[in-house]
Each structure stands twice: as C-alpha cells, then as structure tokens.
Amino acid sequence: MAIEDYQIDLGEEKTYTIFAFTENKVGLLNRITIVFTRRHINIESITVSESEVKNVYRYTIIIKTTYAQVEKLVKQIAKQVDVLRASFYPEEETIFQEIAMYKIPMSSMINGSQVEGIVRDSNARILTVDPHYIIIEKTGHSEETRALFEKLAPFGILQFTRSGRIAITKHMKDLSTYLREQEEAYL
C-alpha cells in the first residue's frame, strides 16, 4: 500500500518517519535539525548510518506532526545541497525497531530463575555476565523495551539506554534505482 492510498487528514497529528539520503558532509546534521527548530517541531528520534549505496548515508528521523507540516519539512530538507533524496512515510508504511540495553546488579541474580524467566519471556538476551552486573539486550518497539524496563526495575537497574528508531519502508523501490533514474534524467 503506497502513501497515496491513505486517507490524508492534513490537521491530524501522527507519527511520521523521514528518510534523508545524503553525502557525508560536516555540518549537514546541524543544517537538517535547524529545519525542525525553525518550525518548532520536536525530533522524537534520529539515527544516521551508512545506506545500501556506498558513500551515501541514511538519516532516519521520527516526528509527530501533521501531514501538511511533514510535507513542508521534507521539501526543505530536500533543498539542502548535500541531500540526495528526502521522503516521508506514516508509521504503518515502515517496519521499525529499537534496541535497548539494561545493566542490573549481579546480586539480583539471587533470584536468577526469575530474571532469566523475564528475559526469556520478553524475547531479550543476556549480553554480558560480570561478577558485579549483567547486561541485557532487547530489540523491539519502544513499548516493548519500556515493558521490560518495568519488569526489571524491582531488581535494580544500574543503567538503561535505548537507541533511536531504525526503519525500512515497505515499498519496493530502492535507493540505487532512484539514484540511477536521477542520473539518467540529467544526462
């Protein structure tokens, strides 16, 4: 299902994923975030990584706003010199995950089978076992990582961190095809 297939309510606030494919240039992150600051839109999550195309980087930006606002934002991002492509999708048009890590004291393992049961039932895994602590990893949606946090809280959480969202679109057109089409259009 393409974004065009959705009933669009221009005034309804929803979660959108913005993808910007860029060259790796100093200062670009700052220029992109200024676009959001000027419009007083909070970035819920931002991650930057290499993409499937060599020397092209993927910004994954999560915001809650209206369709009209996200459309304007993406147009402004696309105008940045080092941005090769910018697009946006409603949450239901992406497949996404986050990763969370929890550090709990080894003393909580006195009830080891209880902690192990929580880890197993949450589809998490133990990454590190140290004489003083254990580190647990959970991949999933923010609701799932938050739920595991609540279950582990009684055992004492020493540290907790959660990554920004990473996402992939459900549609099939890939970046290399888009770039090739753009290159052919300029020839």
Cβ atoms 111, 104 nearer than 8 A: no
DSSP alpha helix (H) spans, 6-110: 28-38, 67-78
Verify that 87 and 100 share a domain, yes or no: no
Mean pLDDT of all residues in the chain?
Answer: 88
Percent of the residues in the chain that have a pLDDT greater than 90, as a whole number: 70
Indicate whether 83 and 173 sit together in one domain.
Answer: yes
| Residue 4 in domain | no
With beta carbons less than 8 A apart as the criterion, state whether 31 and 77 touch: no
What's the pLDDT score for residue 112?
A: 65
Do residue 83 and residue 175 come from a single domain?
Answer: yes
Report the alpha-carbon distance of residue 137 to residue 127 in Å, rounded.
Answer: 6
Segments forming the whole domain that contains residue 79: 13-93+169-185
Task: Name the helix (H) or strand (E) containing 85.
Answer: strand 83-90
Q: What is the pLDDT of residues 73-84, one digit of tens each?
A: 999 999 998 999
Q: Are residues 84 and 70 in the same domain?
A: yes
Whole-model pTM?
Answer: 0.81
Report how many domains make up the chain.
Answer: 2
CATH code of the domain covering residue 78: 3.30.70.260
Distances (CA, A) of 177 to 26, 52, 109, 174: 26, 11, 51, 6
Rounded average pLDDT over 49-62: 91
